[in-house]
Amino acid sequence: MIKTPFVAMWGILLTGIMLTLLAVMTALYQPWFGLTLALDKQHIVVDTISMPLGGVQQGQIVQSIASADGRNRIELVEQDVMEDPDQLETYQQSRQFFSRQDYLAGVLRQRQISMQFANGNSIVLDVKPRRPVNSLPMVFWVQILVGLSSFLIGGWVWGMSRKRYTTLILFIAGCCIMAAAFSAAIYSTRILALPAPLFELLSNLNHTGAALFGIVLVLLFSNYPTARLLPPRLQLLFVVGTFCWWLCDMFKVFFSGPPIGAFVPLLIALSIILLLSWWQYRKTKYDPVAQAALRWFGLSLMLGAGIPVLLVSMPNLLDIDAAMSQGYAFLFFLLIYVGVVQGVARYRLFELESWIFRILFYLLGAFLLVLLDALLVMVLSPLMSLSLAILICGLVWLPIRGWLQARLLQRKKLSDSELFERILQVSFAVNEQERQLQWKALLNDLFQPLNLEISEQASHSQIEDNGLVLYTPQVAGLAAMRLSYPQQGRRLFSEYDQQLIQNLLPFLAQAVESRVAYDNGVREERHRIARDLHDDLGAKLLSGLYQKDVDQAKQAIRQAIAEMRTIVNGLLGTGVELNVILQEFEYEVATRLQSCGIELNWQQKLGDAPITLSYAQYRHYISMLREIISNIMKYANAQSVIIDISLSDSQLVSVICDDGTGFDGEANQSGGNGLKNLRERATELSATLHFHSLPEAKGLRVELIFPL
């Protein structure tokens, strides 16, 4: 009893290999006389020559064959090399065809045969009991490939979900294609003739596979993807009717010939399948996942089964030449199972998960290894052939497997660079509403859900409703979201999608929080500039407005203009030259002190190198100097003030001394708001601020030092 999918797949793989070897060996055990024949304009001609044969040329018309002594001669006709006896119009012609095939096979069983050409020449050919592998044409291997692939893919789907009725039907359909393709591969590429019992067995096997294929596809679309459409009795009636039709074809009774007995059931089945597909599509209009899977699988089936019927079966039914070889027409059947593979990858067709692809990849690798070893052992030693097979699989199969995994299993649509750009767009949105819209747009582009809405319940990313719904949690002020029916309902959410969201959220949170912090900084900077405009520029303009002396009013206006220029430079980030600042400040201080009868002694030693302060440095520095001067004017009772500004080791040193009453700022740490503001601004400047009363109460010395 098969207990695990892996064991089931190994059993199916080994069975497929054994059946393939049986078909190849049957095709090889045919008499071989060194050349193949083909039909060319109603003449049988030499097609290929595999060994030197004196007097035989490619394209030479063959008239008859006989025993080496000339007995049992039989004239060859075009039906002797026809690809498929189903091209005959009547069963009577079929019986005559198989009788001639049996007679020709008897002639070919001799050790030598005589072949006579249309020009009167003849040649005696040695007949070997089996043909070489390289004599099998490409069309033979095409049919073998189609049959084996259909069997393995159908078995792969069934092995992964053996409890489902629909996967069993699909596997049976693969077995039917294998039976039809393998049998057709053997008799359609025969050298000239096969024994009648073997030929009839292969032909009947081909018809049986085709009839069963039609039955199982009708049953499949009666039950997939929705519940049963046709009642069991009607399904049973169809099966019994097709079986009776098949019996009549096997015994060659009631019908005129193969076109009716073999091809009409396929046309009827295809018509019923089209009707059932349309019916299923109507039934699944409220189930986008099932509808998408049906579209994909139905299209693959219509192309895979419909094109061969139109190109091969219909011409035979209408008694006209087929549009293409039956052998190559089998390639279209492979589209059905390629569609199954794509359907499993994109839409979880038959409710299979993507992990089963890994089992398929490993089994294919093992199969290729065994196949290469079997081929190489014919010309190399066993050890050498195995080593070379492993090397070839490693160099060829592993890259192909990686490419297939990337093509079939990847879900993400956006590249890493595009994803990074979209996250930045979310974080750089101008407000929370716009940020939410950008986040929804990103989720929509990643998963293309049919429905995307805000959710109240998601605390973390999770998948629900068997993959129909994906929740994203709230992050960085963005609302939790509920996504349903990804890829416009063509697939379900997977663990890969959930992992993608989990990887995006921390990055998105950091980007949004950084942007919010930036916005807060901008808001604070604007508030500070507004305060400066009000406190400094407004104060200067108001002072000039109330000046009675015209010169003093002009000076106040000049100071206001200079202050405005400084603020504008701060907004532009260009900075302010220290010499200009100090020049304007010296005049301001001198004017203020003069109004109080205090003498100013200004000393400045900055050198010739230009020094630029940022707007923040300028504001804090000048405000501190103004505060110190204001305190001297209010409380010091000083007669003179010395201001000494110099550079020392890339630091700006400002010393202010007065000869007033003095004040110990170091001891009085809990001073008023003025002293508190001075210390706060010193911290902003990364500066040091010291207060020292001069000896004998002869004034106060203030030192302000900050790095440039």
- pLDDT tens-digit series, residues 225-264: 766 778 888 888 988 999 999 999 888 888 888 888 887 8
**Contact predicate 136/186, CB 8 Å:** no
Q: Give per-residue pLDDT as tens, 202-233.
A: 999 999 998 998 888 888 778 777 667 788 88
23 located within any domain: no
Shared domain check, 380 and 342 = no
- Reported as a pLDDT band with limits 50, 70 and 90, residue 355 is very low
Q: Distance (Å, rounded) from C-alpha 270 to C-alpha 306?
A: 7
pLDDT above 80 (res 383): no
Instruction: Give the ranges where 252-381 is alpha helix by DSSP (H).
Output: 258, 264-283, 288-308, 314-317, 326-329, 331-347, 356-376
Shared domain check, 403 and 393 = yes
573 located within any domain: no
Residue with tokens 């890493």: 416
- Reported as a pLDDT band with limits 50, 70 and 90, residue 99 is very high
Alpha carbon 295 to chain centroid, angstroms: 20
pLDDT above 70 (res 537): no
Q: Give per-residue pLDDT as tens, 284-341.
A: 766 666 666 666 666 676 667 666 766 665 555 555 565 566 777 777 777 776 665 5
647 located within any domain: yes
- Reported as a pLDDT band with limits 50, 70 and 90, residue 16 is very high
For strand 612-613 and strand 576-577, is the pairing parallel, antiparallel, or unpaired? Answer: antiparallel
Cα dihedral value 136, 138, 144, 150, nearest 10: 180
pLDDT above 90 (res 421): no
pLDDT above 90 (res 182): yes
The torsion region of residue 482 among left (phi > 0), alpha (psi -120 to 50) and beta comes to: beta
Q: Which tokens belong to 662?
A: 């003095």
Residue 31 is predicted with a pLDDT of 92
Domain boundary among 494, 516, 544: 494
Average pLDDT, whole number, for the chain?
A: 79
Q: Distance (Å, rounded) from C-alpha 476 to C-alpha 201?
A: 73
Average pLDDT of the segment spanning 454-464: 75
More confident site: 506 or 212:
212
Q: Distance (Å, rounded) from C-alpha 330 to C-alpha 638?
A: 111
Q: Which tokens belong to 286?
A: 């409220």
Q: Which residues pair with 651 in a beta bridge?
A: 707
Q: Which residues pair with 483 in a beta bridge?
A: 452, 470
Shared domain check, 326 and 241 = yes
**Measuring CA to CA, which residue among 274, 297, 26 is closest to residue 143?**
26
Domain tally, the chain:
5
499 located within any domain: no
314 located within any domain: yes
Residue 271 is predicted with a pLDDT of 81
Which are the contacts of 638, defined by CB distance < 8 A and separation ≥ 6?
598, 632, 658, 659, 660, 699
Q: Is 161 exposed, middle or buried (0-12, 13-18, 19+ CB in 10 A)?
A: middle
- Reported as a pLDDT band with limits 50, 70 and 90, residue 666 is low
Shared domain check, 379 and 334 = no
Residue 353 is predicted with a pLDDT of 47
**Contact predicate 664/646, CB 8 Å:** no
Angle, CA 380 vertex, CA 23 and CA 27 arms, to 5°: 15
Q: Is 311 exposed, middle or buried (0-12, 13-18, 19+ CB in 10 A)?
A: middle
Domain boundary among 474, 494, 514: 494
Q: Distance (Å, rounded) from C-alpha 657 to C-alpha 501?
A: 65
The torsion region of residue 646 among left (phi > 0), alpha (psi -120 to 50) and beta comes to: beta
Q: Distance (Å, rounded) from C-alpha 565 to C-alpha 676?
A: 29
Residue 345 is predicted with a pLDDT of 43
Angle, CA 501 vertex, CA 496 and CA 504 arms, to 5°: 125
Shared domain check, 446 and 371 = no
More confident site: 602 or 277:
602
Average pLDDT of the segment spanning 348-362: 50
The lowest-confidence range among 74-83, 184-193, 351-360, 431-440 is 351-360
Phi, psi of 657 (to 5 degrees): -125, 145
12 located within any domain: no
Provide the CATH number for the domain around residue 692: 3.30.565.10
The H or E element spanning position 469 is strand 469-472
pLDDT above 90 (res 187): yes
Residue 368 is predicted with a pLDDT of 67
More confident site: 342 or 538:
538
Q: Distance (Å, rounded) from C-alpha 500 to C-alpha 443?
A: 11
Shared domain check, 300 and 161 = yes
Shared domain check, 315 and 174 = yes
DSSP E strands: which ranges in 630-687? 640-647, 651-658
Q: Distance (Å, rounded) from C-alpha 117 to C-alpha 45?
A: 9
Which range, 180-189, 393-402, 431-440, is most confident? 180-189
396 located within any domain: yes
pTM: 0.55
570 located within any domain: no
Q: Which residues pair with 369 in a beta bridge?
A: none
Q: Distance (Å, rounded) from C-alpha 264 to C-alpha 266?
A: 5
Q: Which tokens belong to 625?
A: 């100097």
Residue 485 is predicted with a pLDDT of 76
pLDDT above 60 (res 185): yes
Type of residue numbered 160: M
Q: Is 580 exposed, middle or buried (0-12, 13-18, 19+ CB in 10 A)?
A: middle
Residue 197 is predicted with a pLDDT of 93
Q: State which residues form the domain around 302.
A: 143-353
Q: Give per-residue pLDDT as tens, 565-581.
A: 667 766 666 677 888 88
Shared domain check, 86 and 157 = no
Shared domain check, 100 and 197 = no
More confident site: 212 or 510:
212
Angle, CA 691 vertex, CA 685 and CA 693 arms, to 5°: 165
Shared domain check, 224 and 211 = yes
pLDDT above 60 (res 447): yes
**How many Cβ atoms are within 10 Å of 480's Cβ, its own excluded?**
17
Domain boundary among 135, 151, 173: 135
